[in-house]
Each structure stands twice: as C-alpha cells, then as structure tokens.
Copies of this chain bind each other. A is one copy, B any other.
Amino acid sequence: MPSGAQVPFHDEAEFVGWLRRRWPGRAPGLSLGIGDDAAIVRPTPGCDLVLTTDLSLEGVHFRLDLHPPRSVGHRALARALSDLAAMGARPRFALVSLSIPRTTRRSWISAFYDGLGTLARSLGLTLIGGDTALTGSGAVTCDVVAVGEVRHNQALRRDGARPGDRIYVTGRLGLSAFGLALLAFGAGPKGGAAPATTAPARDRRAAVRAHRYPVPRCRLGRTLAQRGLASAAIDISDGFARDLGRLCDASGCASVIWEECLPLAGLKEERHRGYGPLERGLHGGEDYELIFTVRRSRASYVPRSIGGVALHSIGEIRRGRGLTLIQRGGLETSLEARGYDHFRLSNGG
C-alpha cells in the first residue's frame, strides 16, 4: 500500500468529509448534497432548469504560473455562471469534477475550493457534488456543471435577434485580455518590463483582477429576463466578435457595430505585440460581459445601467450574414471572428 504522505488526502472518504464540512448540504430546494451516489434537488414550481458544463484545462484555460489556485477555482466556476447569466437564469447548484496530479498539495486544493466557494456564495449557489481523481502525472483538469432556474419561457436564447434590433453590451471590453498581457509579459502588479505601458498602477491592478476574478453578470442577466427586454443574449467568453457572430448565426442575421460606441477598457498604455485596446476589446475574450439585443420599439426602456453595470448601445442587427465594423472615420470593415475557438491551434487570427 502506498504511503499516504504523498497524496493530499489519505483517501476519498477523508476528502469527501473535508468537502462536506465546507458545504454542509443545507440550501433551499436541496434534498441531498455531497456524499451519496448523486445529489437530489427539488425544482421550484413554475421554473425551468438551465444546465451548462464548462471545462477548465491547465495550459488551455489557465496556467499555474499565472493563475493562483484561488483564481483557477474562481474562473472555473465563473465560466459556467456566465452561461447561466446569458440565459437569464438564477444560479442554484454546481457540481465540480477535478482531476489533479497526486503530487498536488492540499493547500492548492484548499485555495482552489476557496476561490470557487467565495464566488459561489456571493451569488447564492451551493456545491452539491462532483467527482475527483488523482492522476500519476498530467495537467489539472476541471469541469464545472452549473444548474440555474428561470421562470417558464423567460430564458434568454441566442436565436431571437431580428433585423432592426439594437445591440447592447455590458461593462467594459478588453480588460481581461489586458490583465493577461500584463501577467504573461511581466508587467503585472509586481513589476517587470514589458509591455511598455503608461497605465497607472490602479488600472493595471484592475485589469489583472478582471482577468483573475471575473464577475459573471448573473443579476443583470436575470433582470433582463424578468423585464422581458432582451430578444437574444450571449456571454463573451471567447471574444466579443466571435460571440456576437455566434448570436447572429443562431438568429440568421448580420450585425453592424459602431466603433466609437464600444466601451473599450480606457487604458492609456501603448500597443503591445500589435494589440491595442480595440483589438483586445474585439477579440480578447474572457470578459464575461453580456451581449444582448432589444427590439427597436423597446430600446427606450433599456436603462443606462443595471445594478451599477453600464449598458452600452453599440450597433444594430441587419439582414444577411457577417459582422461589419463602422470605424470612427465612417469606413466600414468586415469584422473577422478571431476570438478563441477550441478547434483551432491558437487564437486563430
């Protein structure tokens, strides 16, 4: 029998007990939480269930040298919750599958669940199960299932946009990508040289924070669904242009975007490796903001902000196919969907 000293927990029972102390299995609608073969949930009458699952892979979605374990856990859950936000659903439950090398320290696992748990609790979500495996070697792999609820027929979908609809985006675009650039090229909060930036330290910290601890727009998405404002919605995980393209493809429409209206993260830094605020805003990915459309006749009901998050009118749905960017000078250019595609070898630009 192997020595228990090598592994973070003596056996599965100890690990499950450790998890259960953190998630005691009491929550509205939860009949049975962590520890049995499966969890049991009682759905709220009058609600549909919204289910999504998102992989987070070391080397693809995060790097252990750039993302502390709290951030890895936070981001893994944020990916799934952002999908619920895009559907207008209220987060309820999550299951977490985690595969880790058996040399992983218990402190790493603990911080991973701390990061995940802090975000979960802030949005009223309860961890109800999962699966864990130790591997002899290999990368950290995580899969998060999120379960949300939405009133019957209130869920937002990708395919409801129609020609004439206004296009909106929440928050700011490109902040996460700037944070990643700062982290990856050494100009993070702890100093370093490249990229040469004149951005104040406060802006740099905000960008790194947006990258490491993105806040999915769950409350905002839910408000949109409850008010019946949005005709279609999607979250920005792989890049604004790519995700807007997905919404348009699902709806069978084209779109026109006005560059001057894009809420690009107002960073004063120089261009770095050919990327500036516009490229990062259009293609950067991981902003976890929402893109949504509203019938023109209802556009006057869209507030300037919801819960402190600004809503920006940035374009219009048109007939046809494709994305067009109208630049500040009036020049129209076709916008390529260059953001992240997991079937490409890189950010296929």
Interface residues of A (CB under 8 A from B): 1-2, 6-15, 31-32, 35-43, 45, 47-55, 57, 59-61, 83-84, 86-87, 89, 93, 95, 97, 99, 102, 128-136, 138-139, 141, 143, 145-148, 150, 152, 155, 157-159, 234-235, 246, 249-250, 341-346, 348-349
Contacts and interface: CB of A to CB of B under 8 A. Distances in A.
A348 B1 contact: yes
A53 B129 CA distance: 8
Contacts of A130: 53
Contact of A83 (B38, B83, B152, B159): B38
A58 to B, nearest CB: 9
Given A37-B235, A89-B38, A131 B343 contact: no
A296 B258 CA distance: 74
A145 B41 contact: no
Contacts of A348: 1-2
A246 B16 CA distance: 12
A11 to B, nearest CB: 5
Contacts of A52: 37-39, 95, 129
Contact of A1 (B47, B143, B344): B344
Nearest to A141: B141
A35 B341 CA distance: 15
Contact of A43 (B49, B139, B159): B49
The 6 nearest A-B residue pairs measured at CB = A38-B52, A2-B345, A143-B143, A43-B43, A37-B83, A37-B86
A1 B349 contact: yes
Nearest to A234: B37
Given A2-B348, A143-B97, A158-B36, A42 B53 contact: no
A262 to B, nearest CB: 22
A181 to B, nearest CB: 21
A216 to B, nearest CB: 11
Contacts of A341: 11-12
Contacts of A50: 38-41
Contacts of A11: 341, 343-344
Given A41-B51, A53-B95, A135 B60 contact: yes
